[in-house]
Chains A and B, each alone.
Chain A
Amino acid sequence: MIHPSIRGRILFSASNAQSLLCAFRAGIQQSSRNSVVIQKAGYQIPARSSKGRIKLSPAPSSKIPKGSNAIDLLQNRLKKELDNDGWRQKLFERSSPNALRPGDVVRVHFKPNQDSTTIMGTIMGIRRAGLDTSVRIRTEVARLGVEMSIKVYSTSVRTFEFVSRAAKRARRAKLYYLRPDERK
């Protein structure tokens, strides 16, 4: 039997809750059983009087099936929303033969409510990160170089139009050497 003086000060994990639960119950045979609140979470709050009793609401039920990964479910749902046909994924996945590669010239069509509805430029690099995949495109606008890192799955992008393939396969994944040399 647990000594009454340490009864209220025991903290225990869910693993040994069962054994300690019995010990605790055994220990409270002397006190009124109505004053103890027993929960399923694995710890107990002994109430010596009805004043100290803490009301507990039941734990909310999980909205996703047991054993499933919430992040994966979210990614799948967003993918259906943003890229139902799968054309965005096909444009940028490595294995696809028609995929865009660094060095290709591409025209990005934005949604019409913006000033520049089309940007045409060379792909400097592709950052593959699932739904955050982005393409870095370098253009010349009014004789000035502009680089844009455009999210592939963005809803403001209507389409990527393939213009031309690189003359020679780029030997780099990121073509930062296309930037002008400031030293000259």
Chain B
Amino acid sequence: MIYLKSLLNVIDNSGAALVECVNVLGKGNKNAGRVGDRIVVVVQALRSAKLMQQSSSANRVQRGDIRHAVIVRTKKEFSRKDGTVIRFDDNACVLVNNQGEPVGTRIMGVVARELSKKYAKITTLAPKVV
């Protein structure tokens, strides 16, 4: 359940490390963000410089930037059609641009399988999809 003021880890190499959710897009009032939802975030913390060198300077993100992101993991459990209920140990997102394409070029970590329909590029970049 991601909503205003939720902190999320960023698991791509866009430069951001921690972002704060400001708005959940495409949902009504009082509907929290779930895996696969798009959110508006403010960058709160950046990654170390070593990782940032790998991404281009145009894509590099600054602290205080307002960006779009896609939720890829939530600590709040979500259920699948076969009855499986899944929960990750943290909340994580991937920064995207206005067209929905990821800003970074690599993704580090696990993403949920729910993204495969709308954000196929993220699932192909991800090393592990659960």
Q: Which residues of A contact B (CB under 8 A)?
A: 114-116, 119, 132, 134, 141-151, 154-156, 179-180
Total residues of chain B contacting the partner, CB 8 A = 21
Say yes or no: A154 contacts B127, CB within 8 Å.
no
B116 closest partner in A (C-beta): A115
B113 and A114 form a contact (CB under 8 A): yes
Is A154 within 8 A of B82, CB to CB? Answer: yes
Task: Compute how far the CA of A144 lies from the CA of B11 in the bound complex, rounded to whole angstroms.
Answer: 12
Compute how far the CA of A80 lies from the CA of B116 in the bound complex, rounded to whole angstroms.
34
* B residues at A contact (CB < 8 Å): 73, 77, 82-90, 108-110, 113, 116, 123, 127-130
User: Whole-angstrom distance from the CB of B59 to the nearest CB of chain A?
Assistant: 23
Cβ–Cβ < 8 Å partners of A116 in chain B: 113, 128-130
CB of A115 within 8 A of CB of B83, answer no
B125 CB, min distance to chain A CBs, angstroms: 13
- Residue of chain B at shortest CB distance from A149: B85
Indicate the member of A144, A151, A154, A180 with the most B CB atoms within 10 Å: A144
- In the bound assembly, the distance between CA atoms of A156 and B90 in angstroms comes to 26
What is the bound-complex CA distance between A144 and B127, given in angstroms? 13
**B82: which of A145, A146, A147, A151 is its contact (CB, 8 Å)?**
A151
Say how far B73's CB is from chain A's closest CB, in angstroms: 8
**Cβ–Cβ < 8 Å partners of A114 in chain B:** 113
Least Cβ distance of B92 to chain A in Å?
Answer: 8
Provide the residues of chain A in CB contact with B82, threshold 8 Å.
151, 154-156
Select from chain A the residue with minimum beta-carbon distance to B127. A142
Within the complex, the shortest CB–CB distance from B128 to chain A, in Å, comes to: 5
* Max chain A Cβ within 10 angstroms of own Cβ: one of B87, B88, B129: B87
Q: Are B84 and A150 in contact (CB under 8 A)?
A: yes
Least Cβ–Cβ distance between B102 and chain A, in angstroms:
17
Instruction: Find out whether the CB atom of A146 lies under 8 angstroms from the CB atom of B130.
Output: yes
Q: A115-B113, A142-B109, A142-B110 known; A148 and B129 CB under 8 Å?
A: no
* Closest A residue to B79 using CB positions: A149
Q: Give A143 to B77 CA distance when docked, in angstroms.
A: 19
| A/B interface sample: 26 pairs, CB < 8 A | A116-B128, A132-B83, A134-B83, A134-B85, A141-B110, A141-B128, A142-B108, A142-B127, A142-B128, A143-B109, A144-B73, A144-B89, A144-B110, A145-B89, A146-B88, A146-B110, A146-B130, A147-B86, A147-B87, A147-B88, A149-B86, A151-B82, A151-B83, A151-B84, A156-B82, A180-B89
